[in-house]
């Protein structure tokens, strides 16, 4: 059964789209990872133009971030002060990201940029996942217990605009979280991701935030950053296909529910290996797509979008 996507101006199999959203949602519910970094490249590999895939995925990120942050708000796991400072940077970053997106789209370089960015990030994520799994196995085997300091003092503590973050038990410069927000916001607009896979390690290892508030804070600010990116994408580039986003959201919601309900019954370690393998596989697929000689070296694009 096919569905016509009004903004992409193309017909796609609805079950493929629901299935893709469902698989990513399932992994998200099962392993607690945001699947955005898998969804956009998969859509591109399915033939959806990068501009539409990225912008529509931003709308999907709003829904997933809102769903996820509800739990954390209820559990009081959000550092609102930190979230608003990161958000301030995120708003600037995502607005600049949409502007760069427009320039790249007009010069026909968006596709290449998005693919290269995804290839790099997916390779890094995949390798880090394998690394983390390997280290955990070794520690378990050798029965090593690692005692961590709350956080290390580094250059951030010497920057101006130092602020107290009671919830995170930090006294650091506001500039650094703002810069992190800006970078993640920029990538979020350009790649259609929530940015959790960059923000979470940055908050833990660079800012030294307590892990209990990191995910909630990231998700909470992610709602507003993706709202900003989606609104500007719709307003300036006209590339948000709500029908596509809606199908992915529905698939994702159902998949996440199933994933979270079976998470305790399935071997998480093996699933993490599978996820890391999928991430590396998608990255390789993108790499092959970029280096293989194209079937046809010429292409035509209607300025309005599709053919």
Partner 1 sequence: MKIFVKIKLIFLLTILSFNVQASRHKKEFIEIHSHKLNIPVSIGFRGNTINIYGTTNIDGNIVVIIKGKNIKYRVNKQIKKKIFWVNKQITEIKNIPSIYMISTNKYVSYDRLNNFNFGLNSISPIIDNDKLSKDEKKEIWNKVKKLKQTKGNYHFKINHNNLKDRNSLFKATFNLPPNIKIGEYDIYAFVIKKNGDISDITQQKIFINRKGIIDFIYNKARYYPNLYGLIVVLLSLLIGLVSGYRKN
Q: Which residues bind partner 1 (CB under 8 A)?
A: 1-4, 6-7, 9-11, 59-60, 62-71, 74, 107-109, 111-112, 116, 223, 227, 230-236, 238, 240-243, 245-246, 249, 253, 257, 260, 290-294, 296-303, 306-307
CA distances from 93 to 3, 99, 293 (A): 34, 10, 34
Q: How far is the CB of 175 from partner 1 (least distance, A)?
A: 29
For residue 164, list its beta bridge partners. Answer: 171
- Closest distance to partner 1 from the beta carbon of 178 (Å): 23
| Closer to partner 1 by Cβ: residue 10 or 202 | 10
Nearest distance from residue 176's CB to partner 1, in Å?
A: 29
Q: Which is nearer to partner 1, 159 or 243 (CB)?
A: 243
Task: Produce one character per residue of 234-272: b if its CB has 16 or more CB atoms within 10 Å, e if not.
Answer: beebebbbebbbbbbbbbbbbbbeebbeeeeeeeeeebb
Cα dihedral sign, 84-21-101-204:
positive
Which residues are paired to 305 by β-bridges?
302
Residue 4: which H helix or E strand, with range? strand 2-5
Least gap, CB of 150 to partner 1 (angstroms): 30
Nearer to partner 1, 112 or 161 (CB): 112
User: Which 3 state secondary structure label does DSSP give 265?
Assistant: coil
What six digits make up the tokens of 218?
């990231």
Minimum distance between the CB of residue 241 and partner 1, rounded to whole angstroms? 8
| Nearer CB in complex with partner 1: 3/96 | 3
């Amino acid at each position: 059964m096919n569905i016509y996507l009004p903004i992409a101006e193309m017909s796609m199999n609805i079950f493929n789209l629901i299935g893709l959203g469902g698989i990513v949602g399932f992994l998200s519910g099962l392993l607690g990872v945001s699947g955005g970094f898998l969804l956009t490249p998969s859509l591109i590999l399915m033939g959806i133009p990068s501009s539409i895939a990225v912008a529509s995925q931003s709308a999907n990120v709003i829904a997933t971030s809102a769903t996820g942050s509800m739990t954390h708000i209820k559990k009081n796991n959000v550092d609102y002060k930190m979230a608003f400072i990161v958000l301030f940077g995120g708003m600037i970053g995502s607005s600049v990201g949409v502007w760069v997106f427009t320039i790249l789209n007009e010069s026909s370089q968006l596709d290449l940029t998005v693919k290269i960015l995804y290839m790099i990030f997916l390779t890094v994520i995949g390798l880090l996942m394998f690394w983390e799994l390997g280290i955990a196995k070794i520690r378990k085997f050798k029965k090593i217990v690692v005692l961590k300091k709350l956080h290390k003092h580094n250059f951030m503590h010497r920057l101006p605009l130092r602020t107290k973050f009671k919830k995170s038990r930090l006294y650091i410069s506001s500039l650094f979280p703002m810069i992190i927000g800006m970078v993640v916001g920029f990538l979020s607009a350009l790649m259609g991701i929530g940015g959790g896979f960059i923000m979470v390690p940055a908050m833990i290892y660079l800012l030294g935030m307590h892990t209990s508030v990191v995910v909630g804070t990231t998700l909470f600010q992610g709602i507003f950053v993706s709202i900003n990116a989606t609104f500007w994408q719709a307003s300036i580039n006209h590339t948000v296909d709500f029908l596509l986003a809606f199908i992915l959201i529905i698939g994702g919601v159902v998949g996440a529910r199933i994933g979270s309900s079976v998470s305790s019954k399935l071997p998480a370690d093996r699933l993490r290996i599978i996820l890391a393998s999928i991430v590396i596989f998608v990255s390789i697929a993108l790499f092959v797509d970029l280096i293989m000689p194209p079937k046809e070296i010429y292409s035509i694009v209607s300025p309005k979008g599709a053919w």
